[in-house]
Amino acid sequence: MQQFSVHKIGPEINIGGVDLSFTNASLFMVISAAIILLFLFVGTKEKKIVPGKVQLIAEMFYTFVAKMISDTAGSKAKPYFPFIFSLFMFVLFCNMVGMLPYSFTVTSHIIVTLIMALFIFIAVTIIGFAKHGFKYLSIFVPSGVPAVLLPLITVIEIISYLSRPVSLSVRLFANMMAGHTMLKVFGGFVISLGLLGGWLPLGFSVALTGLEILVAFLQAYVFAILTCIYLNDALNLHH
């Protein structure tokens, strides 16, 4: 579909055989990041005791993420707040910018979400090994399992651990892509049914747009909270 196609903008950049051209996907990532920066800059410029609208929203995001981290990963995860906050804001704003007509949804491409998920996965694994050394491997060996079943359970645990980046990335990508495709399909119905029958799918389109905005927020939330949960597993062994 046209709205999912990636095309180059400007000159082709080729460094060492790797195509690094600026595409519309990169453009919308830059736009999302710029909106976040602008929004937080305006929101934190005037530090009033009684906050204005923008400051209030910025503070709400801050407390929302801070509470999420302390609820799921405990106080040990405090140093990772900047990372999780940036992650949450980036995913949220990419999803929301994608809701605008004529825009491009970066998170509806699996390569984008997979890279983010793999980064989280590798980072969490490194953090786990750095904090606990080889004792971190004990997450693959649950306690209280009979010795006969231990090899089987360990293999299952390893598969379960390896499935984390896949489920993390596929969830975000599939939800965004499915939502946009559904909107497109209903939009197509409006055109093909014309003035006479087009009103019903038009109503559905409006309702689905509302649902999509909810999904856009929820998926950013789920993405961030799962990162917190994985971080919790790495920081606090045997929870």
CB of 58 to another protein, least distance (A): 20
What DSSP character marks residue 23?
Answer: B
Q: Does 175 bind another protein (CB under 8 A)?
A: yes
Residue found by looking up tokens 């491009």 in the block: 104
Give the interface segment with another protein, choosing from 92-100, 104-112, 154-162, 192-200 (CB under 8 A).
Answer: 154-162
Q: Does 148 bind another protein (CB under 8 A)?
A: no
CB of 161 to another protein, least distance (A): 9
Backbone torsions φ then ψ of 180, nearest 5 degrees = -70, -35
Nearer to another protein, 149 or 200 (CB): 149
Residue found by looking up tokens 């495709």 in the block: 181
Give the number of other CB atoms < 10 A from CB of residue 80: 19
Q: Does 155 bind another protein (CB under 8 A)?
A: yes
Q: Does 206 bind another protein (CB under 8 A)?
A: no
Q: Does 162 bind another protein (CB under 8 A)?
A: yes
CB of 95 to another protein, least distance (A): 13
CB of 180 to another protein, least distance (A): 16
Cα angle for residues 141, 171, 212 (degrees, 5° grid): 150
Number of H helices, E strands in the chain: 6, 2
Residue 84 CA to residue 215 CA, distance in Å, equals 19
CB of 176 to another protein, least distance (A): 12
Give the interface segment with another protein, choosing from 25-33, 132-140, 168-176, 182-190 (CB under 8 A).
Answer: 168-176
How does DSSP assign 91-106, residue by residue?
A: HHHHHHHHTSTT---G
Answer yes or no: are the C-beta atoms of 180 and 3 closer than 8 Å.
yes
Answer yes or no: are the C-beta atoms of 8 and 19 closer than 8 Å.
no
Tokens of 43: 């929101």
Answer yes or no: are the C-beta atoms of 73 and 232 closer than 8 Å.
yes
Q: Does 166 bind another protein (CB under 8 A)?
A: yes
Q: Of 54, 174, 202, 213, which lies in the binding site for another protein, with binding defined by CB under 8 A?
A: 174
Nearer to another protein, 54 or 229 (CB): 229
Q: Does 138 bind another protein (CB under 8 A)?
A: no
CB of 218 to another protein, least distance (A): 5
| Interface with another protein in residues 217-236 (CB under 8 A) | 217-219, 221-222, 225-226, 229
